[in-house]
Amino acid sequence: MEQTKSFSGKKIDKSKIINLAHGKIPPQAVDMEEAALGAMMIDKKGIDTVIDILHPDAFYKEQHQAIYAAIHTLFQNSEPIDLLTVSNQLKKDGKLNMVGGDFYLIGLTQKVSSSAHIEFHARIILQKYIQRQLITISSEIIEQSYDETADVFDLLDMAETKFFEVTQGNLKKSSETSDSLVRQALKKIEELGGREGMSGFATGFTKLDALTSGWQPSDLIIIAARPGMGKTAFVISMAKNMAIDFGHGVAVFSLEMSSVQLITRMISSETGLSSEKLRKGTLEPHEWEQLNVKVKNLSEAPIFIDDTPSLSIFDLRAKARRLKSQHDIKVIVIDYLQLMTAGGAAGGNREQEISMISRNLKALAKELHIPVIALSQLSRSVETRGGSKRPLLSDLRESGAIEQDADIVSFIFRPEYYGMTEWDDDDHSPCEGQGEFIVAKHRNGGLDNIRLKFTGHLAKFSDLEDDFGGQLESSMNSSFNDLSSSINPADAFDAPVTPDDDDDVPF
């Protein structure tokens, strides 16, 4: 065994020195921690600068965690923060001796003369903490990866969720100056000058786009209706328009229907062939040719469908971030909100879970800077209410938080669903083959009831032709236009619809 002598003359095993040299210690910046804590105790401005950047766990040394926790408590209680008050708070917490007593606190204040560079110090402390978190998570992933019984896809989701939590918990956006924001606003206004006022993503429905200027980035849009009213048919028509006509990438999370069922509906809408014929495969020779020709546009469209059942909000966020990164999607559609789960992150009743889900959907829209469109069920109160059956905001099912979090709340209403033959307006015009898209809440714009054409056998919504030469329906096969009024939408897809059925079929 090779040995050497230390400065004290004692013999030391040289192999141990070599092992120590090749060893690793967690990333840390203890000197920066000391400087930051000292600056906070001598200058209140330093606390205001870093209080929303740091948290106790960000510090490497346990003593420093306790000192910062005491400072944080004083700040929350709006009490003065200095050497004496911090020492007194540590006494209350029973941790003064653990941190090294008053002598150690005095030493911290003597290491700095001001809080001039405290934000820089705090950023380094946070960086080291994030590195330690990444090491911990990676070690856990490595350990679980050796477990042969672990499901690899569950492991992937777990890894992505944990890494996402690191991002959400530590990377906080700072405030921007008025000058910076004004410059950004002016640049956006100039860009919109060449887009004919369309600041968002066009849906292909003329009047709706005129009202909203397209779906806006960072908005949460709720589209609610009773089962069988046409929620899925509307978003399928919209997704097809956005992807094929405008080239916008659309991600559809279908928690109810399979991806093949959903794409079959899109094929029906795009080709003009009834979904019943497509489902049974009973097509005439010319219809097969029509199918092969017109389905090409759909096959090339940037539409991504995920039919994972009982999808949790955390899995949705992970999948959405991946799609945004890999395919630059512009819109997310969720069909439908009540079928999502909180993934065990929220206790309490279902209403609290829905509240948590809606808050997270809004956060997702802001994070990815794209509109998130979520379908929602309405309560049975619509059916039991006398008079007009038009939905109200109070009819939103399970949680008022949906209305609160959403930027736009809209409803789909088809009088035919209730056996009506006329609209309840002044001229009592026929309502066969028509539906109404009701914008009941619009945080950044006006409200309106927009009438659309509904083609039952195609499960398709499109612009309604008016008597004044307005927008014509952009159907791919006009030969079917005159048939829509003779077909009962409730018979589409051979699925009967009753007002009391809570399953969202057929539309």
Residues annotated as catalytic are 256
Torsion of CA 7, 13, 15, 17, to 10 degrees: -30
Between CA 186 and CA 311 the distance in angstroms is: 40
Q: How far is CA 419 from the centre of its chain?
A: 37
Buried b / exposed e across 217-251, counting CB within 10 Å, b at 16+?
bebbbbbbbbbbbbbbbbbbbbbbbbbbeeebbbb
Nearest partner of 452 among 486, 417, 413, 489, judged by Cα: 413
What DSSP letter does each residue of 252-314 carry, written as one string? EEESSS-HHHHHHHHHHHHH---HHHHHHT---HHHHHHHHHHHHHHHTS-EEEE--TT-BHH
SS3 (DSSP) at 436: strand
273 touches 290 (CB < 8 A): yes
Nearest partner of 53 among 121, 115, 123, 120, judged by Cα: 123
234 touches 223 (CB < 8 A): yes
